[in-house]
Amino acid sequence: MDRLALREDWSCAKSVFSYQKVAWAIRSFQPYKSPGVDGIIPAMLQESVDLVVPKLLSLFRTSLATGVIPSAWKTSRVIFIPKPGRTSYDRAKDYRPISLTSFLLKTMEKVIDRHVRVNVLGNCPLHTNQHAYQQGKSCETALHNLVGIIEQAIACKEIALAVFLDIEGAFDNTSTGSIVSKLVSRNTEETIVRWVNNMLSDRRVQASLCGVIKEVKAQKGCRQGGVLSPSLWNLVVDDLLVTLNAQGLYAQGYADDIVIVIRGKYMDTCLGLMKRAMSIVEQWCITEGLSVNPTKTVMVPFTNQRNAEIETAPKLFGGDILVAKEFKYLGVRLDQKLTWNSHLKSIASRSQTALAMMGRAVGSTWGLNPNMVNWLYTRVVRPMMVYGSVVWWPKVAQKTAVKILSKVQRSACLAITGAMRGTAALEVVLSLPPLEVFTRGEARMAA
């Protein structure tokens, strides 16, 4: 794809980049985000917009027109964040690599990402069942759609057989060729395709430990933490969603979290359709050079039927898919009958643990002041409690749920005020609505 810049390339570069767009991209970053290897933080650019934007505008247009990115920009500083819930951390898969790149490149990416979303995806949009990185969509819309299908199946005395896929290293293992082909198939300007290909090629990553710095060349994948990476991954996985839904097999995605749902009255029929879906998944993985871990892919039969037993689970890449009675999807535990008992117990336990940690920093005469403890509860613990309430809010109508929620908020009130355990009406004193009432309100706002 190497060639000299043509008149069309310069025309494309001028249409993509303008003074206003570059200034907007610079101001959109949090001022003190961690820098890349060049040490430049957004605040430096934001405090000198009038000075740097004209120079960056010329540089960005030249980079896009020629399809060449400064090599210093393509070197990332990688930090490894331990994935929660792991029993050990002795494998590379137990860590999530986050790439810290130059904010000069991120600024350029942001403008190009905006162009791709408006001009490319505006004319050839992604499948409607993709909920990640889409305006007006979120984890809650993905949960709402999925739970709606399951609730309809249960209400009709049917089975909603769901398989939750675990795509191994989705961002890390996606090939550059696959990403480029998806851009071309959506009639993306050749100038932008060439630039993206250059950005993904010849990348170098740095990691340090105990003062020792190691630098290696990245062979494939798109950077986790890159501005363009989410849009590029969505282009790749879109083919899977389109193919499955075109076959009458409901599938939805939130980035690399894919779930396939088959509705029906009989388990054998649902299993037969699910086997066909797994064949489509296998073929897509082979085509894109990706893989799905069958041992982490989970199947849950959502139903009230008593005889809905799975004798032989479908296979994926030769391995049996694990059959479970519940699954944690996008932070919400979904059990077979959607009773929400498991989810409520889980969030109550996590909240009590968080409150106990807060309690260690508070004493009757020392520690955090009441205003700070109140802020921690209302801004950290309570949002964690009511997350996803748009799907599980009916549970709070039950007395057992009210009792669990009241116990959590009571602990918070005692931590805030330092009052004795028998003190009454602390919610009124602190102007805190009962947690079940607050949960309904949050669900109504999210609906």
At residue 364, the pLDDT reads: 67
Residue type, 92: A
At residue 419, the pLDDT reads: 80
Tell me the backbone φ, ψ of residue 7, rounded to 5 degrees. Answer: -60, -35
CB 67 within 8 A of CB 45: no
Kindly tell me the sign of the dihedral angle through the C-alpha atoms of 269, 272, 273, 278. positive
Residue where the block lists tokens 């000299």: 4
Q: How far apart are CA 153 and CA 159, in angstroms?
A: 6
Give pTM, 2 decimals. Answer: 0.89
CB 153 within 8 A of CB 160: yes
Q: Half-sphere exposure of residue 267, counting CA atoms within 13 Å on the CB side?
A: 16
One pLDDT digit (tens) per residue for the chain, 447 residues: 556 788 999 999 999 999 999 999 999 999 999 898 889 999 999 999 999 999 999 999 999 999 999 988 988 888 888 887 777 888 877 888 888 899 999 999 999 999 999 999 999 999 999 999 998 899 999 999 999 999 999 999 999 999 999 888 788 888 899 999 999 999 999 999 999 999 998 888 888 877 788 888 877 878 777 899 999 999 999 999 999 999 999 999 998 899 999 999 999 999 999 999 999 999 999 999 998 887 789 999 999 988 778 878 888 988 889 999 999 999 999 999 999 999 999 999 999 999 998 888 877 677 788 899 999 999 999 999 999 999 999 999 999 999 999 999 999 998 888 888 878 889 898 999 999 999 999 999 987
At residue 242, the pLDDT reads: 97
User: In 3-state terms, the chain is what percent helix, strand and coil (to 5)?
Assistant: 50, 15, 35
Closest to 377 in 3D by CA, of 431, 425, 416: 416
At residue 2, the pLDDT reads: 57
What's 215's DSSP letter? E
Q: 314-334 burial, b if ≥16 CB within 10 A, otherwise e?
A: bebeeeebbeeebbebbebbb
Residue type, 302: F
Closest to 404 in 3D by CA, of 363, 438, 435: 435
Residue 410 Cα to chain centre, angstroms: 33
Residue 332, classed as helix, strand or coil, is: strand
Strand blocks (E) in 92-249? 95-100, 159-166, 203-209, 212-218
Q: How far apart are CA 324 and CA 301, in angstroms?
A: 8
Q: How far apart are CA 409 and CA 415, in angstroms?
A: 10
Edge to edge, the sheet with strand 212-218 lists 95-100, 75-82, 203-209, 212-218
* Residue boundaries of the structural domains of the chain: 7-126+175-220, 139-166+231-335, 341-446
> Packing angle between helix 399-417 and helix 435-446, nearest 10 degrees?
110
Residue 120, classed as helix, strand or coil, is: helix
Task: Tell me the CA distances in angstroms from 202 to 217, 236, 425, one per residue in order.
Answer: 7, 21, 64
Query: Where does residue 44 rank: exposed (0-12), middle (13-18), buried (19+ CB within 10 A)?
Result: middle
Q: How far apart are CA 173 and CA 213, in angstroms?
A: 24
Q: How far apart are CA 250 and CA 46, in angstroms?
A: 45
Nearby residues of 139 by Cβ (< 8 Å), 6 or more positions away: 131, 254, 330, 331, 388
The count of residues in the chain is 447
What's 432's DSSP letter? P
Task: Tell me the CA distances in angstroms from 56 to 230, 332, 340, one per residue in order.
Answer: 24, 44, 52
Residue where the block lists tokens 């494309």: 12
SS3 of 359-395:
HCCECCCCECCHHHHHHHHHHHHHHHHHCCHHHHHHH
